[in-house]
Amino acid sequence: MPQQKEPLVTICMPHWQVQELITLCLRAIRKFTTKIPIEVIVVDNGSEDESLDYLRGLKWIRLIERRKQDLPAFWVDGFVSALDIGFANSHSEYFIIMHTDTIVRHPGWLERMLEPMQNDPKCAASGAWKLELRNPLNEFLRKITDTKKAQLWFKRTFLGDQKARQRPRELCPRDYCALYRSEPIRRLGLHFDSAGKYKGYTAGEQMYYQLKENGYHASVIDTVEMMKYMVHLAHATAGLRPAERRLGHLRAQVKAEYKIRRLFNSNLAKELMEDTSLDQ
């Protein structure tokens, strides 16, 4: 993997006690990123298990350790603030935010993400929407079991709260793997935690809306194309650590645990777990 004092791209990855996942994630980045100079910053959010020792032993990453007592009470806020910490410690032209449950599986992934920005200075973000293809039956089941939507309907109908509505969401790069042009973020003083204005949106959405406000746009890569380059498990931490991060919806929890089992049984995962040379 190309490394130099002035990398073109910084990859920032918040982490909490998922050594199995971050091992796959980091080794996949190293295996399939061969032409573009990068640096990897892992921001650890108070891990207290052996995963922290593993990360400390990797000389090719930059590890930023946060103490548990210094973290926000809600883990999502800890994740978002870790992205801002990572960005503050980067100096590269481009900045990628990535989840530990995003596994690169094909070379050329980074070139594809950079492509829209090469000749368009107003393109400041690149990535895809969710990496999931839903069949009509699954989509129907998802809608009829959407407890959040039901709660909002109840508040509007019986409590008279007309503000209890789902926020409109634009198609934009999701934060499981999204690339940003660093210069406008630095110059405009933007943060992945937008300090309330876009609260309720994901970190990637918050940054997208802020960039859009300032005259920039994003390139959204087709889901099917993006799936050729990487796999995203979604809620994998809950699937791997159900005692601490169990999801509120049983069907979603079962799905997360199933995806974890399927990933670790795949040939890609087995090859990466066996190739310890990628840690060196």
- Would you list the DSSP string of 172-204? ---TTEEEEEHHHHHHHT--SS-TTTTBTB-HH
pLDDT of residue 217: 98
CA distance 186 to 87: 9
CA distances for 189 relative to 80, 84, 114, 178, 259, angstroms:
16, 11, 22, 19, 38
Give the strand pairing for 123-128 and 177-181.
antiparallel
pLDDT of residue 159: 61
Tokens of 264: 């670790």
pLDDT of residue 246: 82
**Can you say how many angstroms the Cα of residue 9 is from the centroid of all Cα atoms in its chain?**
16
Q: For the chain, which residues score pLDDT lower than 70?
A: 1-5, 134-166
The ranges assigned to domains in the chain are: 9-129+171-233, 134-169
CATH of region 9-129+171-233: 3.90.550.10
CA distances for 250 relative to 139, 165, 263, angstroms:
16, 24, 20
pLDDT of residue 152: 45
By the 8 A CB rule, do 27 and 272 touch?
yes
pLDDT of residue 231: 95
pLDDT of residue 200: 86
Which DSSP helix (H) or strand (E) runs through 247?
A: none
pLDDT of residue 146: 53
Tokens of 13: 């990855």
CA distance 71 to 80: 11
CA distance 194 to 69: 23
pLDDT of residue 245: 81
By the 8 A CB rule, do 117 and 219 touch?
yes
Tokens of 179: 């690339």
Q: Quote the DSSP letter at residue 92.
A: S
pLDDT of residue 81: 97
